[in-house]
């Protein structure tokens, strides 16, 4: 089934997923969220050849400027909770995807857009990028994980301030606080993301997957992250990749990993 609000292209085993609602500043309406869910639950897992995924927004004005507020007007407590639950499920799929997912952020990343960027493993910001959770301006709060992930990235004190004031962060401030990994000139976010994915692709694929799983475990209330690290360290030592990596180190050559 084709996607209507997502553009998907591949180049050199790197997939670029573009939120394609430029006329609406790439706002996350219900259809877009459903398509993201289908992509990360059904389509992306089949693409085992991928080095990783880059998520970006169409046009120069916005990565994703938020959710589609018009769809909020008919919500009550029950349907609002259902929407938030589904949104969190979509972003957990991204956060737990076994290959690196990098957000290439151009322009506004607000509300659901900021939450989408935070669900990705890394964030590359253009110099004109702006981040924020302005939901309180509408009398609501973030629902797709914003109150939780923002604290993880920048700490409680500053996160609470931003969540309560609705203020935006510029790219340089977002970098200083640790929300983004790199700030680059406008138009170069995807290029920087490709550079990072190509560097990661030279590492052991199983190890990269286990890094993602172990780091995520730190933030899961029902799991001991240290215990998960012990388990996954043990699992990686039993792989062909580890034997190849160790042999290459001893023999002073570059390893050839197979993902096994």
* Identified catalytic residue from 35, 95, 115, 213: 115
Three-state secondary structure call for residue 84: helix
Pairing of strands 101-105, 52-57: parallel
Tell me which residue of 230, 192, 221 sits closest to 52, measured CA to CA: 192
Token digits of residue 153: 């990235």
Q: What is the CA radius of gyration of the chain?
A: 19
Q: Ramachandran region of residue 38, left (φ > 0), alpha (ψ -120 to 50) or beta?
A: alpha
Whether 161 is a known active-site residue: answer no
N-to-C CA span, the chain:
31
Whether 135 is a known active-site residue: answer yes
Residues whose CB is less than 8 angstroms from the CB of residue 193 and which lie 6 or more positions away in sequence, other chains included: 54, 102, 104, 122, 124
* Identified catalytic residue from 95, 135, 213, 232: 135
Q: Which residues are catalytic?
A: 115, 135
């Amino acid at each position: 089934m084709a996607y209507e609000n997502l553009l998907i292209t591949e180049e050199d085993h790197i997939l670029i997923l573009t939120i394609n609602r430029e006329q609406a500043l790439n706002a996350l309406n219900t259809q877009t969220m459903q398509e993201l869910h289908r992509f990360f639950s059904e389509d992306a897992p089949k693409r085992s050849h991928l080095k990783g995924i880059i998520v970006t927004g169409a046009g120069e004005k916005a990565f994703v400027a938020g959710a589609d507020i018009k769809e909020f007007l008919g919500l009550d407590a029950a349907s609002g909770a259902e929407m938030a639950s589904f949104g969190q499920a979509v972003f957990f799929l991204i956060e737990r995807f076994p290959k690196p997912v990098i957000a290439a952020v151009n322009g506004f990343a607000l509300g659901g857009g900021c939450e989408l960027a935070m669900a990705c493993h890394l964030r590359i910001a253009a110099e004109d990028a702006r981040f924020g959770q302005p939901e309180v301006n509408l009398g609501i709060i973030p629902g797709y994980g914003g109150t939780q992930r923002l604290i993880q990235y920048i700490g409680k004190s500053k996160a609470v301030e931003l969540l309560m004031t609705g203020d935006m962060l510029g790219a340089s401030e977002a970098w200083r606080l640790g929300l983004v990994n790199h700030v680059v000139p406008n138009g170069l976010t995807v290029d920087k993301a490709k550079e990072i994915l190509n560097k990661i692709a030279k590492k052991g694929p199983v190890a990269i997957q286990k890094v993602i799983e172990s780091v995520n475990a730190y933030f899961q209330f029902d799991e001991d992250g240290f215990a998960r690290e012990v388990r996954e360290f043990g699992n990686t030592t039993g792989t062909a990749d580890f034997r190849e990596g160790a042999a290459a180190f001893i023999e002073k050559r570059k390893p050839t990993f197979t993902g096994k």
